[in-house]
Amino acid sequence: MGKNRNYLDAVSGLMIAALFALAGLVVLAWAVKPDLPLT
């Protein structure tokens, strides 16, 4: 039971980290090319 809980925590942590990385890439790309359409 405890092992499964740790696995879920790790997966959610990875997903949050991936979201932040994705947002950082978008911001970085927009900073380099401000005329980039965001939608």
Residue 31's pLDDT is what? Answer: 86
Cα dihedral across residues 26, 30, 32, 33: positive or negative: positive
Q: pLDDT tens digit string along 1-39?
A: 567 888 999 999 999 999 999 999 988 988 888 776 665
Residue 38, Ramachandran bin (φ over 0: left; ψ between -120 and 50: alpha; else beta): alpha
19 class by beta-carbon count within 10 Å (0-12 exposed, 13-18 middle, 19+ buried): exposed
Residue 35's pLDDT is what? Answer: 75
Residue 4's pLDDT is what? Answer: 80
Residue 20's pLDDT is what? Answer: 97
Helix, strand, coil percent content, the chain, rounded in steps of 5: 80, 0, 20
Domain boundaries, the chain: 1-34
Residue 9's pLDDT is what? Answer: 92
